[in-house]
Amino acid sequence: MVTPMDDPANPVIFNNTVLRDGHQSLAATRMTTEQMLPAAPLLDQLGFGALETWGGATIDAGLRFLDEHPFDRLDALRAAAPDTPHMMLLRGQNIVQYSNFPDDVVEAFVRVSADHGMDIFRIFDALNDPRNMRCAIEAAKAAGKQAHGTLCYTTSPVHTPETFLRLGEELAEMGCDAIVIKDMAGLIPPQAAAAIVGGLKRRLSIPVWLHTHETAGLGASTYLAGIEAGVDAVDTSIVPFANGTGQPDTTRMMALLQDHPRAPDFDRPEKRELLQELREHFEKVYAELSDYTSHRNETVDSDALLYQVPGGMLSNFRNQLKEQNMADRFEEVFAEIPRVREALGWIPLVTPTSQIVGVQAMLNIKFGRWENFTPQAMDIALGYYGRTPAPVDPEVRALAARKAEKEPIEDRPADRLEPRMETLGRELREQGLPDTTENRVLQAMFPQALNTYWAKRAEEKTAPAAEETASAGSADLAITVRGRTYRVHVEELPA
């Protein structure tokens, strides 16, 4: 098998995350579709391997805070950036929520997302339990799209490079089109990245991608080590939605790879101009989102190596502590996080476990350890999220069983769930809401937010049709989605 380093002409691929992880990590996921659309055609011309435009917390935040139907955003961005593959982050059996869903809901969500133009499904499980990833992987493949099996990187007494190599092999055997090392908290040091990338490249015949954050200041050097070990693609973003708790900036990575044999083709004057135009646009957007940004998220924080908290959680959790009048107890709460994580079986910290562990740590500090035991944390302790990397603390598990009044389980949690798609359709009809597959899967995950969204639409009496049109004889694009029209000016990149 020929690796990229055996063929220096094979440049590393840059993906771009500014429209999803960039603002999730640095601005509490508050960027609107309207703020994204002027940038989408520019991103589309730069030659990124993929644009991450959806998934993660964007679906929840769009409904709850931005009054946006998530599938409308996907339609609009797909129309504004038609030439680059679109990528989303999918939480396996959790889809984009915090609990497991039946297989029929997972399958429907993947299928309808593919119908709306999603190309790459980056699929992970918060516990790295492959049983919770299989359904989504098979659904993506059945839809004719790419399924990327994702390893959530973490460190603990039970996590070694061999642990991740074996998981990568198992996901490849499931039919994944690529393996992604997802370093959600910016923890992976260069040599560890090189060891895992190199091991996967030696053992597998599919591409290996690497995703990290600059939270602890390791990101760019980790990418360089991964590139030299043969990684096929890395994720970058664009300042100011880059660095800090976000991904390394694209221009910064270009400079780091100057004269490197695997440097991608981003050094043309026209592309540099587009990147500068994008930076100027996003600086305006960042200022507009100042209520949700924090200087602390923009800086390197080596404490992340201790707490192992993902960038998106840092951004959102600081806001949550303020809301609970506990902003002055930040250090206490974050020092409690590793203790909770160990008690729950050394679980990685990634959505939803990062939020679950974070909330439990906050409650432990506020009320006393395990005095206020959340249902979600109890379910992790009892196996209802899946198999934990290490055994749960026996006393904590026994306490959870007593408080929850249910027994621990060892089988795949979704096997205990009844199909729901028909029931969801009936719920929508009973509420007088449009019974579509899109609304059924959103009803499964966010029923209250979806109901509020449609109540507002009923008041506005907007037209539900979604369409896209281009102005004849110009480079302007008019995108109309559910009665809202976005006009996007497209600057063509010279040939």
Q: Which residues contact 349 (CB under 8 A, 6 or more apart)?
A: 154, 184, 185, 308, 309, 310, 313, 337, 341, 357
pLDDT for 407 equals 96
Tokens of 404: 């929850």
- Distance between CA atoms of residues 463 and 485, nearest Å: 11
Helix (H) / strand (E) containing 71: helix 70-80
pLDDT for 311 equals 58
Give which of 427, 24, 65, 8 is closest to 237, Cα–Cα: 24
CATH 3.20.20.70 spans which residues of the chain? 4-292
pLDDT for 324 equals 87
Mean pLDDT within 110-132 = 98
Q: Using one digit for the tens of pLDDT, what is the confidence trace for 398-438?
A: 999 999 999 999 999 999 999 999 999 999 999 999 999 99
| 3-class state of residue 485 by DSSP | strand
Spatial strand order of the sheet with 484-489 comes to 466-470, 476-481, 484-489
User: Which of these CATH numbers, 3.30.110.30, 3.20.20.70, 3.40.50.1370, 3.30.56.10, describes 4-292?
Assistant: 3.20.20.70
Q: How confident is the model at residue 495 (pLDDT cuts 50, 70, 90)?
A: very low
pLDDT for 89 equals 97
Q: How confident is the model at residue 297 (pLDDT cuts 50, 70, 90)?
A: confident
Q: Using one digit for the tens of pLDDT, what is the confidence trace for 42-51?
A: 999 999 999 9
Q: Using one digit for the tens of pLDDT, what is the confidence trace for 174-194?
A: 999 999 999 998 999 999 999
Mean pLDDT within 127-146 = 98
CATH 1.10.472.90 spans which residues of the chain? 295-415
Strands (E), 165-240: 178-182, 208-211, 233-236
Instruction: Please check whether residue 39 is in contact with residue 486, taking contact to mean a CB–CB distance below 8 angstroms.
Output: no
Q: How confident is the model at residue 303 (pLDDT cuts 50, 70, 90)?
A: confident
pLDDT at 480 over 90: no
pLDDT for 9 equals 58
Please give the CATH number for the structural domain made up of 295-415: 1.10.472.90
pLDDT at 316 over 80: no
pLDDT for 3 equals 42
pLDDT for 40 equals 98
- Distance between CA atoms of residues 135 and 198, nearest Å: 28
Q: Using one digit for the tens of pLDDT, what is the confidence trace for 59-106?
A: 999 999 999 999 999 999 999 999 999 999 999 999 999 999 999 999
Mean pLDDT within 332-361 = 92
Helix (H) / strand (E) containing 477: strand 476-481
Mean pLDDT within 135-154 = 98
Phi, psi of 488, rounded to the nearest 5 degrees: -115, 125
Mean pLDDT within 103-115 = 98
Q: Taking all residues of the chain, what is their mean pLDDT, rounded to a whole number?
A: 91
Mean pLDDT within 196-203 = 98
